[in-house]
Structure formats: structure tokens, C-alpha cells
Amino acid sequence: MRWTPGGRSTNLEDRRGQRPGFPGGRAGMPLGVGGVLVLLVLSLVFKKDFFSLLGAGDPASQSQTQAPSEPGTFATTPEEEKLVDFVSFVLDDTQKEWARLLPAMGKPYRDAHLVLFRDAAESACGFASAASGPFYCPGDEKVYIDLGFYGELQQRFGAPGDFAQAYVIAHEIGHHVQNQLGISSRVQEARAANPAAANQLSVLLELQADCYAGVWGHAAAARGVLEPGDLEEGLNAAAAIGDDRLQKMATGHVIPDGFTHGSSAQRVEWLRRGLQSGRCEECDTFARMNGQ
């Protein structure tokens, strides 16, 4: 990708030197990024979200019991700081594009914040661990990323490249767009009304976020931000984190009923759809489900 390091985004929250509090004021044990496969296995076998157990349940109750975050010092490297600059650039670039696109869909765009952390952080959605990977919390409208995930993406999942890293951020900002359009809340209501369809609805939400990431990628390519090979990096990353591949890595088996994000083929299909069209209208995964 063609980008120039500049000032850090005002929407970037750097918590790498902070240690989160835990319910009752207990300090918790940090969980490394590699622990994601262990928790994934448990979640798949017992059909329970073991990542959520890292928190204390209801975010409202957590806010009353958690000790405040404690600032501290941390070691870094020039390479890591360059990665922070890159994350900052992608964050601002994606949001500038959505500030242009969203008003045409009837909504003014409201910026999300991105929180950088190490090992663990507190969010309005509960306790965030490096093991859970990057995620978006609609409760505080923030994206949470442990930079160590990018090492996992390259080394464990075989998806290197700067556009692969950018795709991860653009996907999470896609969830922020869904939140502002009211899509996320409608899906939540539909899942509560029909628990049997909860996983399928989750997949459709995630695939739409992939498509929205592609919409930004299309605009970035038109502006000359992308270089030859970048699109392939993004598509490779989408394939690398498909549910079928993750399940196969974790258990040796594929359980389609346990999908929450979509298969590798589905993720590639919807990211490519956004990249090729650049149109939000092409990202209606829910209409596709209904045969429209």
C-alpha cells in the first residue's frame, strides 16, 4: 500500500501501557494471542462462547466493579511504532470514505475510536483479550486490536501483507457502519426472536462487514493507495480466517452449524464483491438469504 506516516489519528487510543482492572479489583492473568485456538476448541466442542467468560458478564455491572486501568511503561520498537502509524492511517482513511458514503444512505457518519492494547483491555462489551482477536464493541463504538494479532495473521494463518492488515481494520469499521445504520440492532432482535437462526444471522452480519471492507478497498484503489498484489493479500486474509479453516486447524473437523463468520469461500466472495463494485447496495447479505 502507498501511504505516508503522519500524525497519529485523534480517534486512536493507545492503551499499550495500561493494565486493565478486573471484577472486584483483581488483577488478571494476561492471555497471549496463541490462546485463541484453545478457546476456539472449547467454544466449538461445548457450543458456548468461552471468550465471553474472560469478562464478568453484563457490561453495566462491570463498570461498577472493575478497578480503573493503571498506566504504565512499555517497551516498543521502531517496527511496532511504524505499525501503529499504519493502523492510524488506515483508521482515518476508512472513516473519511464512510463519511462520504454514509450520508447517501440517509445517515451522517460518526467516527469510531480504535483502541490499541496489549494482552487485555476493558470495553463496554466486557473484558477484551488478545485471544479473542480484533473486535468492534457497539456499546462504546470502539474497535479493539492487540497488534500481536498481526503476527498471528502472518505466521499462524499464512496471511502476510499490509493490505491484509488493513482489511482487518476495515472489516471492524464495517461493523461500526452496520451499527449506525441500525443493522446490528435489528440482527440482535432477530437472534433473540429466533435463537435457532442466531449463527446464520451472525454469519450474514460478518459477511456484510467483509463486503463493506471491500467497498473501502475499491475506493482506496481508485485513489492510488493500493499497489499490485494488495487485493490478493486481502482475499488471502479473508480465506485464512474462514470458519471452516479455523475449525479444521483447531479440531480437525468442520462443523457448518457452528459457523459464526462464514466459510473461507464466503468471506472471499463478499470481500471481492465489495472490492469489485464499490457499492454498498451490493453488500446486502440478508436479501441474498431471502432470495431477493
Q: How confident is the model at residue 21 (pLDDT cuts 50, 70, 90)?
A: low
Sequence length of the chain is 292
State pLDDT tens for residues 23-61.
Answer: 433 333 344 444 445 455 555 544 455 555 444 333 333
Per-residue model confidence (pLDDT) at position 70: 42
Task: Indicate yes or no: pTM above 0.75.
Answer: yes
For residue 112, is it within any domain? yes
Per-residue model confidence (pLDDT) at position 43: 54
Per-residue model confidence (pLDDT) at position 95: 98
For residue 283, is it within any domain? yes
Q: Across the chain, what does the average pLDDT equal? A: 84
Per-residue model confidence (pLDDT) at position 66: 36
**pLDDT at 62 exceeding the cut of 50:** no
For residue 284, is it within any domain? yes
* Neighbour count for residue 163 (Cβ, 10 Å): 25
**pLDDT at 143 exceeding the cut of 90:** yes
* Average pLDDT rounded to a whole number, residues 93-110: 95
Q: How confident is the model at residue 238 (pLDDT cuts 50, 70, 90)?
A: very high
Angstrom CA distances, 266 to 150, 242, 263, 287, stand at 22, 8, 5, 15
**Stronger pLDDT, 159 or 291, i.e. the higher one:** 159
For residue 6, is it within any domain? no
Cell of 187: 440482527
Q: How confident is the model at residue 270 (pLDDT cuts 50, 70, 90)?
A: very high
Around 231, how many Cα atoms within 13 Å sit in the side-chain half-sphere?
18
Q: Residues of the chain with pLDDT > 90: what percent?
A: 69
d(C-alpha 177, C-alpha 109), whole Å = 8
Nearest to 140 by CA among 129, 150, 126: 126
* Average pLDDT rounded to a whole number, residues 228-257: 93
Per-residue model confidence (pLDDT) at position 113: 98
Q: How confident is the model at residue 136 (pLDDT cuts 50, 70, 90)?
A: very high
Cell of 42: 472449547
- Domains contained in the chain, number: 1
Q: How confident is the model at residue 74 (pLDDT cuts 50, 70, 90)?
A: confident
Q: How confident is the model at residue 65 (pLDDT cuts 50, 70, 90)?
A: very low
Cβ-contact 50, 39 below 8 angstroms = yes
Around 252, how many Cα atoms within 13 Å sit in the side-chain half-sphere?
0
For residue 5, is it within any domain? no
For residue 273, is it within any domain? yes
Q: Which residues of 247-276 are buried (b: 16+ CB within 10 A; e: fewer)?
A: beebeeeeeeebbbbbbbebbbbbbbbbbe
The residue range of the domain holding 24 is 12-289
Per-residue model confidence (pLDDT) at position 185: 95
* Average pLDDT rounded to a whole number, residues 51-75: 45
* Average pLDDT rounded to a whole number, residues 73-86: 90
Identity at 144, one-letter amino acid code: Y
Around 189, how many Cα atoms within 13 Å sit in the side-chain half-sphere?
5
* Average pLDDT rounded to a whole number, residues 72-93: 91
* Average pLDDT rounded to a whole number, residues 186-204: 95
Mean pLDDT lowest among 119-123, 171-175, 236-240: 119-123
Per-residue model confidence (pLDDT) at position 96: 97
